[in-house]
Structure 1
Amino acid sequence: MLSGIHRFPLQERVIFGKAAQHALVDEARRLGCSRLFLVCSPSLRRSTFLSGIVDALGSRFAGAYFDMRPHSPRESVIGAARAARAASADLLVAIGGGSVIDACKLTQRVMWLALDCEEDLDRLRKGITPEGSTDVLNDSVPTTRSIAVPTTFSGAEFTSFAGVTESSSGVKEVFDHPLQIPRSVILDPEATLGVPNWVLMSTGVRAVDHCVETFCSPESTPYADAMAIQAFRTLLRTLPKLQADPLNLQFRLDAQLGMWLSILGPAAGVPVGASHGIGRVLGGAFGVPHGRTSCMLLASVLRWNSKVNAERQAELCALIGKPDHGLAEVVEDLVTSLGEPIRLRQADIEESKLRNLAERTVASGFLENNPRSVHGADDVMEILRLSW
């Protein structure tokens, strides 16, 4: 008999298809906030999109922080918290991709605890307390919370966990707290207009990765399956259309909606597999953008996992209307059609570095929930050789 637990994230609202500048003003009124501090991608500094938001906020605009770097380094988190604290912010607004949004999630918690240096984050890592024992989930009183306005299709705004990188080691660490999740998400397709097309396409594949690894997870749930199937259908239909007609706002919104559905399983606690696990290390330690890690890894992970879940992969193909295709083939065809790389060597990952990547990935602990058990670096090397 099927059994399990479904956890709903503590997120209040998702506002879609409405201009961010108007939605933000409405949310500020609803939440009773008067000092909104923007945490932004550096590329937005002189954008008309951002200036429209600042103008709409008027006296509610308390300042902005732009020193947000890829993979959410600890120093960006501490810098944002210091700047928001100095501005007496009562609401953070993350505007950007997954790195910005993840950093802003942890920035909230740094503010709640009045932390002020990178070393302070050690005790907040998932699974670590000041005594080195159990998880810290309710160690602080939430004060300043956040809203997210995503500019890519990564889906970070719908989860409570944040991946933040310790720069000196290149290790991406997980920080989780149920109230790190943004209170509201605003899906405005115009927010994506200034983003390079390759970023949108690759993060769209990242959303596909969420769907596929959710559905293939041994711990998936009926709710997560339904979301993953519909998201996969939407993204397979929409991403090629957006690639061909990049200024079409309806296609951009459709991709945002597919991305939203794609992440609801992981956000509810369904564990993902080796594509995500290796990708976290490939991003943090080797600097490969999140979306592109999925482009280069997902098909190979599916091929490696097919030894234990070929029937499940075939079931997903049938449900998305491709019963005569292999799931790895479907993914690879999509990535190729979007002009994205499908091999690690296309990202200048030298073959000599694969062993180091494999060992780092095993040490990270991010492979525990892969459908096919990963017993060590040699198993990871098999996947990486398929991807290289």
Structure 2
Amino acid sequence: MTKTITGNWGFPTKVWSGPGRIKELGKACGELGIKRPLLVTDEGLKDLPIVKNAMAVLADCGCAAALYADVRGNPVQSNVDNGVAAYKAHGADGVVAFGGGSGLDVGKAIAFMVGQTRPIWDFEDIGDWWTRADADAIAPIVAVPTTSGTGSEVGRASVVTHPDTHEKKIIFHPRMLPGVVISDPELTVGLPAKVTAATGIDAYVHCFEAFCAPGFHPMADGIALEGMRLIQTALPRAYDDGKDIEARADMLAAASMGATAFQKGLGGVHAISHAVGATYDTHHGLTNGIVLPHMMRKNEAAIADRMPILARTLGLAKQDFSGVLDWTLQFRERLGIPDTLGEIGVPADRADYIGELAERDPSAGTNPQKLSAAEYADVFRASVG
């Protein structure tokens, strides 16, 4: 029996999944009342056929679209500010957030900020700061992921680096959740193997940290477990054969599942990764993949009781912490993920600073155990090698 990889979902938002669904981009805009979209993507994608095709689909359906691509891999405030200016100059009435995590995050942030009068940092994910926003002024968003990593297409936040402190800040509002997601695996076929691995391991870490986060959230736990099960099989297949549409579809689903699951929380891997990415401009998913086993060892006492169910889900012979750790190391090696941050050019000379940033990161709040800045610095040093 052939596996079905096309479907429409209503969780956590409206998701149209399946090959060729990008042809429905105009319909998605129409459902949200968007007639003059600003398509937001990153510099690396703007000249590629998938973006040109998306712009053509919009033109064919009568949408007067403009393109904005001033987006860095680790987005900064100016990327959002310039996008807001481009939105207003075009007279746009909605955003198509198109691309990987950076394009999706900036697109969502632009849609959020176009109607606000306060600085973006006033809406950091702290307490009830989101209530400061004019919710009725947030523009509608269609999200189109082209990588299978962040899951930002089903998230209610954006990650933006502060220009003064160089910290990654999480900007949050419930209405930043896109109204329609087009999850078309054909858009991910052109991803190089290394990018497939780096973004895919990001999705895995989202699921893993959500599953290990403290607190009672069985729905998030179930989604995280199934996401990891899908990734275990689909990511090596997509890595080996980028044209494997079934594997690509499973990875898009798993990425969205990871972001849905981490409503429960993330943890120390992300706390360090955010700090490293903001300081050294590293790829977020790759950084997560490198740091993961080092943080697992640090958290062993707090997560060991969670590992047997994960090991059973993954079908591992050794169903305890060491079995999951051994599999994690083998899985990373299978995907060509480096062992250390040093291999991607990250030095250890600012370990104390990284530790301080990590301790303050919102993701640290749901690490399975509370760690000090010194302990985060130690994990970072171990990760550098």
TM-score, normalization by structure 1: 0.89
Aligned residue for 2:298? 304
Give how far 1:210 is off. 1.1
Decide which moves more: 30-39 or 324-333: 324-333
Decide which moves more: 207-216 or 253-262: 253-262
Q: Say which SS state the counterpart of residue 341 (structure 1) adopts.
A: coil
**2:193–2:240: 8 Å Cα contact kept in structure 1?**
no
Aligned residue for 1:135? 129
Distance 1:194 1:168, change over 3 A: farther
Give how far 1:197 is off. 2.5
Whether 1:144 aligns to 2:135 is: no
Aligned residue for 1:288? 282
Give how far 1:250 is off. 2.0
Whether 1:126 aligns to 2:116 is: no
**1:92–1:145: 8 Å Cα contact kept in structure 2?**
yes
Aligned residue for 2:231? 235
Matches of 1:122 and 1:262, distance apart in 2: 26
Give unmatched runs, 5+ long, in structure 1.
Answer: 1-8, 129-133
Given candidates 367, 372, 375, the residue that maps to 1:370 is 367
Amino acid at match of 2:251: A
**1:89–1:144: 8 Å Cα contact kept in structure 2?**
no
Decide which moves more: 359-368 or 308-317: 359-368
Matches of 1:171 and 1:299, distance apart in 2: 24
Decide which moves more: 96-105 or 351-360: 351-360
Q: Say which SS state the counterpart of residue 114 (structure 2) adopts.
A: helix
Given candidates 218, 222, 228, the residue that maps to 2:218 is 222
Aligned residue for 1:252? 248
Distance 1:314 1:381, change over 3 A: farther
Matches of 1:315 and 1:74, distance apart in 2: 41
Matches of 1:135 and 1:114, distance apart in 2: 14
Matches of 1:235 and 1:190, distance apart in 2: 18
Give unmatched runs, 5+ long, in structure 2.
Answer: 1-9
Matches of 2:196 and 2:296, distance apart in 1: 23
Whether 1:199 aligns to 2:195 is: yes
Distance 1:143 1:301, change over 3 A: closer
Matches of 1:62 and 1:126, distance apart in 2: 31
Query: Deviations 1:337-385 (Å, cap 9, x if unpaired)?
Result: 01111211112111223222112222335412211221x2221133223
Matches of 2:295 and 2:252, distance apart in 1: 25
**1:11–1:184: 8 Å Cα contact kept in structure 2?**
no
Matches of 1:190 and 1:142, distance apart in 2: 33
Give how far 1:61 is off. 3.1
**2:32–2:179: 8 Å Cα contact kept in structure 1?**
no
Matches of 1:68 and 1:20, distance apart in 2: 25
Matches of 1:309 and 1:143, distance apart in 2: 39
Whether 1:385 aligns to 2:381 is: yes
Aligned residue for 1:89? 92
Aligned residue for 2:32? 31
**1:39–1:92: 8 Å Cα contact kept in structure 2?**
yes
Amino acid at match of 1:169: T
Aligned residue for 1:169? 165
Distance 1:135 1:284, change over 3 A: same
**2:12–2:260: 8 Å Cα contact kept in structure 1?**
no
Given candidates 69, 73, 77, the residue that maps to 1:70 is 73
TM-score, normalization by structure 2: 0.90
Q: Say which SS state the counterpart of residue 97 (structure 2) adopts.
A: strand
Give how far 1:237 is off. 0.4
Matches of 2:382 and 2:324, distance apart in 1: 15
Distance 1:142 1:329, change over 3 A: farther
Output the aligned Cα RMSD: 2.0
Aligned residues: 368
Amino acid at match of 1:361: A
Query: Deviations 1:50-83 (Å, cap 9, x if unpaired)?
Result: 2212222113032110111122111000111110
**1:299–1:329: 8 Å Cα contact kept in structure 2?**
no
1:15-26 paired onto structure 2 within 5 Å: 15-26=16-27
Matches of 2:92 and 2:265, distance apart in 1: 34
Amino acid at match of 1:344: L
Distance 1:365 1:49, change over 3 A: closer
**1:169–1:285: 8 Å Cα contact kept in structure 2?**
no
Q: Say which SS state the counterpart of residue 131 (structure 2) adopts.
A: coil
Amino acid at match of 1:338: L
Give how far 1:152 is off. 1.2
**2:123–2:133: 8 Å Cα contact kept in structure 1?**
no
Matches of 1:114 and 1:84, distance apart in 2: 15
Aligned residue for 2:7? none
Query: Deviations 1:7-30 (Å, cap 9, x if unpaired)?
Result: xx9953011114243221111222
Distance 1:33 1:378, change over 3 A: closer
Amino acid at match of 1:301: M
Amino acid at match of 1:341: P
Distance 1:180 1:237, change over 3 A: same
Amino acid at match of 1:64: L
Matches of 1:71 and 1:184, distance apart in 2: 24
Aligned residue for 1:344? 341
**1:137–1:178: 8 Å Cα contact kept in structure 2?**
no
